[in-house]
Structure 1
Amino acid sequence: MKKLENQKELIYNTAKEILLSENVDKFSIRMISRECNIGMGTIYKYYGNKDDILIDITQELWMSFLKEITNKEFKGKTFIERIDFYFFMLKKYSKTFNYTILSKKLSTSFKIAGKSHHQKAQKHFVKVIINDLNLYFSINTEEAKVISDFICNNLISLITMTGYSYDTFRIILEKIIKPLKEKTL
């Protein structure tokens, strides 16, 4: 049983290494097989296709991002400074796994499955921001949800779009939260 677990881990880690080294064009079951020095049939025992591997990797990266932002100590930091941190961490993780390059190579089934996982992670991210809003401001539930969705969607858009700067978003966000009643921490 241990050998099987090690093989799946080897396949996963090798696939991730190939992607992280920006060899996206070379990413294939054949390439993973060659790099792992194991048969392609062994890979297919664990993963139906390369998209299944990509889904595991993207899930792990989202979970790492969410874990890192929720475990961060923010003592003495403002709400905006938290959002700054989230943006820069999101940027770091997106650079690690270059979605722009990769998205051109993905199958439709991966895009559908990936979107589902992305939406789950995004919902979790929105909850983190709602908690932050409730920590800093006296705010009703609906308003916190709307503002959190706005923040989350914009942070993700900033990663994928050009022509829209974080500084501009930050100015808009400061104007949005300015009327909110701050809690004393």
Structure 2
Amino acid sequence: MSRVIENPKQLILSKAKEILYNQGYHKLNMRALSKACDIALGTIYNYYPTKKDLVVEMMTDYWQDYLESVREIVNSNTDIYTKLNNVFKELEVFIKNFRQYWLTPELYGNQEYVEGGLQKEYGYMEKLIAIIEEVLKKEAADKNVQIKLGARETANFIIMNFITIVQTPLFRYESFELFLKEILK
């Protein structure tokens, strides 16, 4: 009699992340995953026909978790500058972890990953920008703030500068916030 596994897809993703995080991309294969999950190899392939499908789904989960934390931050009862500072701090952690687990040469150098992963990554960046755009629109409506560049362009400016500050820490967040206060007058 076969056993029933509750939420096998989540089990597979969870174990795959453990293997990736603890042993690296080269140790992540369907057989090792089958063994770690204690389920048949065919079951793994039913959910993820290729390693690329699995890796892209894992990256998607990673991004969705991050965007959920950003939504929690922007829905908090704090002023816009506190929200943006908290989004920046969360992005800083996200990028450092993303770099460690997802931008390894063995993974990022893999053409299949680049084709599937980068396309999804750009989509998630757009979602992040849209979240910040909504915060800016709400701030403009609630406090009669004029956004000189427009909400979309300002949101894009904020996120691209956040990423730059994290990746090249020659400019401090506090200095950037001064620019924001000028833009959001």
Counterpart Cα distance in 1 of 2:13 and 2:134? 34
TM-score, length of structure 2 as denominator length? 0.77
- 1:26 maps to 27
Count the aligned residue pairs: 176
Counterpart Cα distance in 2 of 1:172 and 1:52? 38
Kindly indicate whether the alpha-carbon contact (under 8 Å) linking 1:24 and 1:101 is maintained by their aligned counterparts in 2.
Answer: no
| Unaligned segments of structure 2, at least 5 residues | none
Distance change (3 Å), C-alpha of 1:168 and 1:21: same
Q: Aligned pair 1:143/2:147, yes or no?
A: no
- 2:62 maps to 61
Match for 1:146: what amino acid?
E
Match for 1:123: what amino acid?
E
Match for 2:84: what amino acid?
I
Counterpart Cα distance in 2 of 1:141 and 1:113? 36
- 1:44 maps to 45
Using the TM superposition, give the Cα deviation of residue 86 of structure 1 relative to its aligned residue in structure 2, in angstroms.
0.8
Kindly indicate whether the alpha-carbon contact (under 8 Å) linking 1:139 and 1:180 is maintained by their aligned counterparts in 2.
Answer: yes
Identity of aligned residues (%): 23
- 1:112 maps to 115
Matches within 5 A, 1:146-157: 146-157=153-164
Distance change (3 Å), C-alpha of 1:132 and 1:8: closer
Counterpart Cα distance in 2 of 1:178 and 1:5? 53
Using the TM superposition, give the Cα deviation of residue 129 of structure 1 relative to its aligned residue in structure 2, in angstroms.
1.1
- 1:171 maps to 175
Counterpart Cα distance in 1 of 2:86 and 2:180? 18
Q: Aligned pair 1:180/2:184, yes or no?
A: yes
TM-score, length of structure 1 as denominator length? 0.77
Using the TM superposition, give the Cα deviation of residue 170 of structure 1 relative to its aligned residue in structure 2, in angstroms.
4.0
Q: Which runs of 4+ in 1 moved over 6 A?
A: none
Kindly indicate whether the alpha-carbon contact (under 8 Å) linking 1:19 and 1:97 is maintained by their aligned counterparts in 2.
Answer: no
Q: Aligned pair 1:86/2:82, yes or no?
A: no
Per-residue deviation, residues 38-59 of structure 1 (Å, max 9, x unmatched) = 3433322221222211111111
Kindly indicate whether the alpha-carbon contact (under 8 Å) linking 2:30 and 2:44 is maintained by their aligned counterparts in 1.
Answer: yes
Kindly indicate whether the alpha-carbon contact (under 8 Å) linking 1:24 and 1:102 is maintained by their aligned counterparts in 2.
Answer: no
Aligned-residue CA RMSD (Å): 2.9
Using the TM superposition, give the Cα deviation of residue 166 of structure 1 relative to its aligned residue in structure 2, in angstroms.
7.6
Range 60-69 or range 22-31, more displaced: 22-31
Using the TM superposition, give the Cα deviation of residue 149 of structure 1 relative to its aligned residue in structure 2, in angstroms.
0.7
Distance change (3 Å), C-alpha of 1:96 and 1:139: same
Match for 2:64: what amino acid?
M
Range 80-89 or range 66-75, more displaced: 66-75
Using the TM superposition, give the Cα deviation of residue 171 of structure 1 relative to its aligned residue in structure 2, in angstroms.
1.2
Per-residue deviation, residues 121-152 of structure 1 (Å, max 9, x unmatched) = 11111111112222334235852222211111
Kindly indicate whether the alpha-carbon contact (under 8 Å) linking 1:133 and 1:144 is maintained by their aligned counterparts in 2.
Answer: yes
- Which fold has the larger relative contact order, with Cα–Cα distance below 8 Å and residues 6 or more apart in sequence? 1
Using the TM superposition, give the Cα deviation of residue 5 of structure 1 relative to its aligned residue in structure 2, in angstroms.
6.1
Distance change (3 Å), C-alpha of 1:92 and 1:176: closer
